[in-house]
Amino acid sequence: MNNLRTIIDFQRHPIDDLNSYAQSCRSELQKNSILALNNFLTKEALVKLQHEAQTLNDKAFYCSQNHNVLLTQKNTLLGDKHPCNIEVVSDKGCVPHDLIPGNSSLRTIYNSAFFKNFIQSLLSVEKIYPYADTLSSINYNYYEKHQQLGWHFDNASFAIALMIQSSASGGNFQYVVDARNVEKNTLN
């Protein structure tokens, strides 16, 4: 726990408080379908992770993929211009879990019982399990100029994104709670 306190800003985000803090976060998540925990990391941990990401940048695998918003094969029963068949592009760099150092703060958070308990409380589930894909459970993503993560429906029950560096410009994150209510947030 002491090591986690050097990484997570417990003054702002007391994740060990499964009563009032976790309940407050759960309420926000249920209301907005997203929970943004600004300044989640301590300043020292943020600098350390930024340095780690810069150090690993040369190990990133860059690729570009065309896909539809469902991340599935084209539906031949629907026309080419149907929203489910429109292709978007995702292009980015990625350093997978197996290349992230054993002493990384990302691993400390991911493996922390306190963090798991907090997520379980947020989601009102009895147990969460490590991601079965050992290359994707923790990773660094890199976006160069003009690169993007194309709009898509996530196929996981939930996702956690920890942004450690803002973009110089752009960087809009768009999510849809329902078809009548589009929310736009700028990642800072």
Look at residue 181 and tell me whether its pLDDT is greater than 60.
no
Look at residue 125 and tell me whether its pLDDT is greater than 70.
yes
Q: Is there a contact between 177 and 32 (Cβ–Cβ < 8 Å)?
A: yes
Q: What is the DSSP letter of 50?
A: H
98: helix, coil or strand?
helix
| pLDDT band with cut points at 50, 70 and 90 for residue 188 | very low
CA gap 182, 180 in Å, rounded? 7
Quick one: pLDDT at residue 44? 97
Classify residue 99 as exposed, middle or buried by CB count within 10 Å of its CB (0-12, 13-18, 19+).
Answer: middle
Task: Render pLDDT for 60-96 as a digit per residue (tens, 0 to 9).
Answer: 999 999 999 888 999 999 998 998 899 999 899 999 9
Look at residue 175 and tell me whether its pLDDT is greater than 80.
no
Q: Is there a contact between 162 and 184 (Cβ–Cβ < 8 Å)?
A: no
Q: If you count them, how many residues does the chain have? A: 188
Quick one: pLDDT at residue 176? 64
CA gap 66, 145 in Å, rounded? 18
Q: Is there a contact between 174 and 183 (Cβ–Cβ < 8 Å)?
A: yes
Share of residues in the chain with pLDDT > 70 (%): 90
Quick one: pLDDT at residue 177? 59
Q: Residue ranges of the alpha helices (H) in the chain?
A: 2-5, 20-32, 43-56, 105-111, 113-123
Q: Is there a contact between 51 and 45 (Cβ–Cβ < 8 Å)?
A: no
Q: Is there a contact between 93 and 57 (Cβ–Cβ < 8 Å)?
A: yes
Task: Render pLDDT for 6-39 as a digit per residue (tens, 0 to 9).
Answer: 999 999 999 999 999 999 999 999 988 889 999 9
